Homo-oligomer: A and B are copies of this chain.
Amino acid sequence: MSNTRIEPRTLPGFMELLPEKQQIFEKIKSVLEEVYRLYGFAPLDTPVLEYSEILLAKAGGETEKQIYRFNKGDTDLTMRFDLTVPLAKYVAQHAPDLTFPFRRYQIGKVYRGERAQRGRFREFYQADIDIVGDGKLSIYYDAEIPSIIYQILTRLGIGEFVIRINNRKVLGGFFDMMGAKERTTDILRTVDKIDKMGREKVVEELKEQGLSKDACDRIIDFVGFRGSNEEVMAKLEGLSGQNEQFDAGVSELKSVLSAVRAFGVPEDHFSIDLSIARGLDYYTGTVYETTLIRHPEIGSICSGGRYDNLAGYYTNRSLPGVGMSIGLTRLFFILNDMNYLSDAYRAPEDVLIIPMTQEITDAISLSSKLREEGIRTQIYLEEGKFKAKMHYADRLAVPFVLFLGEDEIRENALSLKDMQTGNQVKCTISEAIVEIRKKIAESEKQTPVHM
């Protein structure tokens, strides 16, 4: 053992939680998994490390700067910076063995060497789903994504949110009508910044891109239009018949909207928002963002869209798809920071057994019986004073403590203490199980987020 100790510390930008918070994080993750599975998505797990050549096939300057890339022997390696590029590689590589539409979810850590600042993470979880078709993919799959977002956020306890839906063809077609066909991507990028920069600056930037004052105004009025879903659709249909791309987008949007309703998403939880573009070349049709109504400043917590071709860098097979991603680490950080996390899930067990005798065989048998009933049971095996044992129970925040002393063993009973109420009763094992189960059922009804 060396005499100079090394100060134990974690890298900045790497989230490491205390046990109570980790419990809640796991609960949130499990809600996502549960919903993804309910919709028949298959789990996928790809390596954290890949050949740099593979991960960086598409990447541009910003990505290159932010990645963790290094050599091991002769091999140029990169840590994955998202779950989309690995999916593209996976589908291209394994296409003959996959069944299309291929539906996968993946919840995993990704790495970006961003400038460290509060709430920005260099290692963070993404939770992605994608539906990938072979050559084609029905537009109705685009409606499944908002339904999944709705289920997840509702089950988490995030009640007040709106899923904003748009279609890149609608935007692109409209810009084409405004005489800015070639610059669709630039305009989309500029328009995407309207919330951050304000109208004035966006107009200026658009003018620099060669648009007339009139076209700028019409574009900004268009993307700024607010109204019910019916009103927006009416406005769009009023503009139809002038541009093929526009009309195709409007028709897609209409199909998506009707199917989103069929999926049971309440009307006040989704809205067509013509200002949504997602600042990426990648998307080609439907796009989504999800905003917390009371916290629009956070930005989108759940985004995605439709793309024409997932894996063009790896295969000539046409693989259109639709998907979305949740930045789980960031979302958790925000919810925790704003005190929206519930305490309901913080204890790692339902019961702590405290043996009150030297001989612990009976207490151990009792712990096995409870576990057979699916009750998460810890048995405290340290010797020591009663006060120390109760202090341990208090700090664990365990809902129940079971005492097993000589009296209890003789009477084939136990003492059950409800740590929340302080009530303590002597009862049989079966009675205790009923009590404990009642409380577990209650806490399972609680959402991990209270908002």
Residue contact A381 to B1, C-beta cutoff 8 Å? no
| Most B Cβ at <10 Å: residue of A140, A316, A375 | A140
Which A121-162 residues have a C-beta within 8 angstroms of B?
123, 133, 136-138, 140-141, 143-144, 147, 151
Residue contact A44 to B22, C-beta cutoff 8 Å? yes
Is residue A103 within 8 Å, beta carbon to beta carbon, of the partner chain?
yes
Chain A, residues 257-275, CB within 8 Å of chain B (1/0): the string is 0110011100000000000
- Which of B5, B10, B136, B147 is in CB contact (< 8 Å) with A47? B10
- Which of B38, B109, B378, B396 is in CB contact (< 8 Å) with A377? B38
Closest B-chain residue to A2, C-beta based? B313
Residue contact A378 to B2, C-beta cutoff 8 Å? no
User: Given A70-B70, A99-B392, A378-B103, A48–B264 Cβ distance below 8 Å?
Assistant: no
Chain A: residues with Cβ within 8 Å of the partner, total of 105
| Most B Cβ at <10 Å: residue of A88, A94, A113, A364 | A364
Least Cβ–Cβ distance between A63 and chain B, in angstroms:
15
Is residue A395 within 8 Å, beta carbon to beta carbon, of the partner chain?
yes
Least Cβ–Cβ distance between A400 and chain B, in angstroms:
12
Closest B-chain residue to A109, C-beta based? B48
Q: Which among A49-57, A284-292, A336-344, A416-424 touches the partner chain? A: A49-57
- Which of B15, B37, B262, B374 is in CB contact (< 8 Å) with A360? B262
Closest B-chain residue to A27, C-beta based? B43
Inter-chain contacts of A379 with B (CB < 8 A): 144
User: Given A99-B396, A360-B259, A378-B103, A11–B368 Cβ distance below 8 Å?
Assistant: no
Give A367 to B140 CA distance when docked, in angstroms.
14
Residue contact B23 to A57, C-beta cutoff 8 Å? no
Residue contact A40 to B360, C-beta cutoff 8 Å? no
Residue contact A381 to B44, C-beta cutoff 8 Å? no
Which A227-283 residues have a C-beta within 8 angstroms of B?
258-259, 262-264
Least Cβ–Cβ distance between A252 and chain B, in angstroms:
14
Q: List 25 A-B contacts (CB under 8 A).
A: A1-B313, A2-B57, A5-B316, A6-B53, A8-B311, A10-B50, A11-B50, A14-B49, A17-B45, A22-B42, A25-B45, A37-B348, A38-B374, A39-B377, A41-B348, A47-B123, A49-B123, A68-B72, A99-B396, A101-B382, A138-B383, A151-B371, A258-B361, A264-B365, A264-B368
Using A6-B57, A72-B113 as known contacts, list a sample of 20 further A-B pairs with CB atoms less than 8 Å apart, ordered by residue number in A: A1-B312, A8-B90, A9-B51, A11-B77, A16-B47, A22-B42, A22-B45, A23-B43, A40-B352, A40-B377, A48-B48, A49-B68, A70-B70, A70-B71, A103-B348, A133-B382, A136-B382, A259-B361, A259-B364, A262-B364
User: Which 5 residue pairs of A and B lie closest in terms of their CB atoms, listed nearest first?
Assistant: A40-B378, A40-B349, A70-B70, A42-B348, A8-B93
